[in-house]
A and B are shown apart, each in its own frame.
Chain A
């Protein structure tokens, strides 16, 4: 194994000096220095506005709350449209609103986490249980204004399947976590990949154009994405 890896690497080392690559040096594959991102100088309100425009253009739904108390009625409205009273959700700390879970439970909603066993059979059983659940509720570690995306980082209590398995995904996004663009988010979170084994940027509902380029929404992921922007 070690020998094979050494062979592999030395083959590359041997070839690189002869490679016809405009920007590269023998010790470096070439980088993008000098590339600059288009800068967006948007006010906090401007960021929300742009984010909303972009996500709505992709048939995502955005809610602006002026008062944090509105979060439960907003969620309940979405749930009632789907006649859903059972949801999978991130844990309280990750949703960021300590009284949210209790409020939802008092309204007759059952919340379960996405928890998978390291053991195959138990894992499959839990997946089969979660499959029929219609709605997933997550927080968000960031929003990207120029693309209408939300950034989710996995972790304890922050399951990945919550934003993937159910046909409806509701995300709570604090307004303070809006960034102009994906590169701006990465620049603000240089340790994102240390902090989380899965960082995903979600840009609208799951879609496909594989059959005759006809747009279909909700292919393997959610067909509905609702982002509730929470005031600071």
Chain B
């Protein structure tokens, strides 16, 4: 609910949970209401389904990291625990897990360690090990390891993204994410990492626009504790999108014309002069409110500046001429 205001949440609680005004007076009271109602569900449930932050190959352990404690309830109260994990969640040893845990909370929320770092190795142990039955915990434990496109990523130039530990640091610094929010990415993985993972898992063609949701400022690479080179992969995906013929015809035509003109100085100067003249003709006080024809979209939400009377190269030549002894 982090994208909703407290008023939105209060309204939702009133509508769906028949909460009173007093129940939703402030955030702690709303949280207390959620605790009270969800507690009954946790205690009545016969199966708990969770994700996994890390799994340890050496010991067969699953590590779940959380602050609220819901993940501990899911893995303790119900008789059956089912853990679902992407196949890239596995680290080799317990020592490696120690490294990852040092990194995860610091990069995610700035905590030194999340409130609950829960390491689970199988269901509760029975009498067969010579001791008594463990007091509580699930009697059945199932792990579902999911590929769902990950092996496709593994074989590609995007493999590096599988190192991601889902800390979310890249989301917090991304200027695009800050403006558009998580839902705009259209998949469970938002932000810069999502712009790589989603096309990687589900194909570039349906998601060819997603890698363009970036200014390539590199803040994500800078802040990533694993140093995953996200901008490199965004560029790679843009290239693949273009090769798959996913760029619109007008863009291709425009770029072809641009190449034609910029490679010929005479043509470039002529184009510049014509644009300057054209914009001054339709502009008022230095700004154009509406561009004509196919360019109209550009001015739908902003004005377009009139080109300067003299181009940079004209002024450059004049200045140089003046300075010469």
Q: Which residues of A in the span 103-137 have a Cβ within 8 Å of any Cβ on B?
A: 113-116, 118-120, 123-124, 127-128, 131
Total inter-chain residue pairs, C-beta < 8 Å: 231
The reply to whether A193 and B94 contact each other, CB–CB distance below 8 Å, is yes
Could you list some 18 contacts between A and B, CB below 8 A?
A: A15-B155, A19-B155, A31-B92, A35-B99, A131-B43, A146-B112, A154-B124, A161-B76, A182-B101, A183-B95, A197-B122, A199-B119, A199-B121, A200-B117, A200-B119, A210-B31, A214-B28, A216-B32
Given A11-B151, A35-B99, A190-B94, A160:B72 Cβ within 8 A: yes
The distance from the CB of B83 to the nearest CB of chain A, in whole angstroms, is 13
**B-side contacts of A18, CB under 8 Å:** 155-156
Given contacts A120-B79, A206-B68, contact A200 B113 (CB under 8 A): no
B321 at the A interface (CB under 8 A): no
B residues contacting A by CB (< 8 A) are 1-2, 4-6, 9, 27-28, 30-32, 34-35, 38-39, 42-44, 46, 56, 59-61, 67-70, 72-73, 75-77, 79, 87, 90, 92-99, 101-102, 109, 111-125, 131-137, 139, 145, 147, 151-152, 154-160, 163
In the complex formed, the residue of A with least CB distance to B120 is: A198
Residues of A within 8 A of B (CB): 8, 11-12, 14-16, 18-22, 28-29, 31-32, 35, 37, 54, 113-116, 118-120, 123-124, 127-128, 131, 144, 146-147, 149, 154-161, 164, 181-183, 186-187, 190, 192-194, 196-214, 216-222
B121 engages A197 (CB within 8 Å): yes
Q: Which residue of B111, B125, B137 contacts A203 across the interface (Cβ within 8 Å)?
A: B111
Please give me the 3 A-B residue pairs with the lowest Cβ-Cβ distance, nearest first: A221-B69, A15-B155, A156-B132
Bound: A214/B7 CA distance, A: 13
CA gap between A95 and B190 in the complex, in Å: 45
| Bound-complex Cα distance A213 to B2 (A) | 7
Q: Which residue of A lies closest to B123 (CB)?
A: A197
Is the CB–CB distance between B27 and A212 below 8 Å? yes
Contacts of B5 in A (CB 8 A): 212
A32 proximity list for chain B (CB < 8 A): 95-96, 99
A160-B1 contact in complex given A20-B157, A200-B117, A203-B117, C-beta closer than 8 Å: no
The answer to whether A214 and B27 touch across the interface, beta carbons within 8 angstroms, is yes
Q: How far is the CB of A44 from chain B (nearest CB, A)?
A: 21
Residue among B122, B136, B157 with most chain A CB within 10 A = B136
Q: With a CB–CB cut-off of 8 A, which chain B residues contact A115?
A: 135-136
With A157-B132, A159-B136 already in contact, the answer to whether A31 and B96 are too (CB < 8 A) is yes
Q: Does A16 contact B154, Cβ atoms closer than 8 Å? A: yes
Whether B68 and A221, one on each chain, are in contact in the complex, defined by CB atoms closer than 8 angstroms, is yes
| Chain B hits for A37, CB < 8 A | 98, 102
Partner of B116, one of A14, A15, A201: A201
Query: Which residue on chain A has the smallest CB distance to residue B141?
Result: A197
When distances are taken between beta carbons in the complex, the residues of chain B under 8 Å from A221 are 68-69, 72, 115-116
Are B6 and A212 in contact (CB-based, < 8 A)? yes
Q: Are A220 and B43 in contact (CB under 8 A)?
A: no
Q: Do A186 and B98 touch across chains, with their CB atoms under 8 A apart? A: yes
Pick the contact of A186: B44, B97, B136, B155 (CB < 8 A): B97
- Determine if A128 and B31 form an interchain contact, defined as CB atoms under 8 angstroms apart: no
In the bound complex, what is the Cα–Cα distance between A159 and B133 (angstroms)?
A: 11
CB distance from B302 to the nearest CB of A (A): 31
Q: Which has the most chain B C-beta neighbours within 10 Å: A154, A156, A202, A220?
A: A220
Task: Report whether A210 and B132 are in contact in the complex, using a CB–CB cutoff of 8 Å.
Answer: no
Are the CB atoms of B116 and A160 closer together than 8 Å? no
A218 with B155: in contact, given A198-B119, A202-B115, A207-B67 (CB under 8 Å)? no
- CB-based contact B121/A164 at 8 Å: no
Cα distance A107–B93 when bound, in Å? 47
Chain B contacts of A190 at CB under 8 A?
A: 94
- The residue of chain B having its C-beta at the shortest distance from the C-beta of A146 within the complex is B112
| Known interface pairs A190-B94, A192-B94, A194-B59; A156-B135 also in contact (CB < 8 Å) | yes
